Amino acid sequence: MKKNTEKYIILYDRLLVWLTLALCITGLIMVISTSIPIGQNLYKDPFFFVKREIFYFILIFLLSFVFLRIPITSWKEYSNIIIIISTILLVIVLLVGKSVHGSYRWISIGILHIQPAEISKISSFLYISNYLSRKIKEVHNNFWGFLKPMSVIAMESIFLLAEPDLGTVIVLFLTSLSILFLSGAKIKQFFSIIGLVVLLIIFLILTKPYRINRILSFWNPWKDPFGNGYQLTQSLIALGRGHFLGQGLGNSIQKLNYLPEAHSDFIFSIIGEELGYIGCFLILLTIFIISFRAMHIGQKSLEKKQLFSGFLACSIGLWFSFQTLINIGAVTGILPTKGLTLPLISYGGSSLIINLIAICILLRIDFESRLSKNQALPKEN
């Protein structure tokens, strides 16, 4: 019995496990470092956010024993139901959601705060992977086959924009288009969709004054350092103070109620201030390796004609890459602020749980791929 247990442990991707654990531990340490001032200021409890983060870690640790045992075929079978539930939650959050900074993104259930936008990411990629595994020839041969999955993403995007949450919409579109490209869709189909999306984004920016202000402050945050450019200038100050080796863990000044959202969206700024260039580089390298590993797992599954597993693994890798790119871009002033977390690092229960569920799915895909070397797994239709 012991030998069989050890055999199954080896079949899991240990590199992916250790890298994920390293990021989670780093994230927890940085949440402890960054959230104490804001916890004391808002709730008179310096460990308010720390206790919630630890609770989320314990919850996902217990849930991982369930998710690691769910066959990939079950995810495929229920992918349509999952995206329907996700869409319903996006509607519910607009009706009874909790407003934070003018955005309706959270549904409060006791001590849990569910963010349907995070669920929409994994549900969308489950749906697209399922669609491509069944209709890949249709995607190759006609424009409707390409447009159909994008229309579902567009429907979810309408509800997300109503919250508003433009950052999640951009991640969904970038990842979905990339997966369709990897599936072999025609180039001319991409130009038509990309052109339409660009026009839509320009329209969305021009119709909301706060989005125009974000763009203007992104171009020159120092023009209004105490107004629209405040968050970005404070972020750049934090990164500038870090230099090569950083000020040392816990020695950030910007987290002392100078930089808003220092424990969530802008946690990378404090990492730069406390751990310096070296700390930033190591964290980004770890996320890159996880994303690359996901793409590698997906490639192996595609080679074995396990289309759903392959496309899903690739979509998770691309999702982590794009979200990291947008978060770092906003923190460093390369991109406008979008309100996206840094995967596995930033504070946030829904984000952390969904990201770790995605990692569990990756481990399961790799597990089944390794098992197939000794056992014949059926090819997906």
Between 188 and 147, the higher pLDDT residue: 147
Of 199 and 98, more confident: 199
How far apart, in whole angstroms, are the C-alpha atoms of residue 94 and residue 164? Answer: 10
pLDDT band at 311 (very low <50, low <70, confident <90, very high): very high
Examine the pLDDT at 186 and tell me if it is beyond 70. yes
pLDDT of residue 138 exceeding 90, the answer is no
Residue 312 has pLDDT above 90, yes or no: yes
Q: In 3-state terms, what secondary structure has residue 103?
A: strand
pLDDT at 380: 54
30-70 pLDDT per residue, tens: 999 999 989 888 888 889 999 999 999 999 999 999 999 99
Decide: 31 and 53 in contact? Cβ < 8 Å.
Answer: yes
* Across 306-316, average pLDDT: 95
More confident residue, 309 or 99: 309
- Is the CB of residue 296 less than 8 Å from the CB of residue 371? no
SS3 328: helix
| Parallel/antiparallel/unpaired status of strands 98-100 and 112-114 | unpaired
Give the model confidence (pLDDT) of 12-22 as tens digits. Answer: 788 999 999 99
Which of 332, 359, 330 has its CA nearest to residue 343?
359
Q: What pLDDT, on the 0 to 100 scale, is given for residue 183?
A: 85
Length of the chain: 381
Confidence of residue 192 (pLDDT cuts 50, 70, 90): confident
Q: What is the pLDDT of residue 171?
A: 93
Query: How much is the pTM?
Result: 0.90
Q: What is the pLDDT of residues 321-371, one digit of tens each?
A: 999 999 999 999 888 877 789 999 999 888 999 999 999 999 999 999 888
Residue pLDDT, tens place only, 203-248:
877 777 766 776 766 777 877 778 778 888 999 999 999 999 999 9
Model confidence at 5, pLDDT cuts 50, 70, 90, reads: very low
From residue 307, give the alpha-carbon distance in Å to each of 126, 134, 193, 310: 12, 9, 24, 5
Structural tokens at position 357? 């569920």
Phi-psi bin for 102: left (phi > 0), alpha (psi -120 to 50), beta?
A: left
The answer to which of 2-6, 172-176, 345-349 has the lowest mean pLDDT is 2-6
pLDDT over threshold 80, residue 254: yes
Q: Where are the alpha helices (DSSP H) in 44-165?
A: 48-67, 72-77, 79-96, 116-141, 143-162
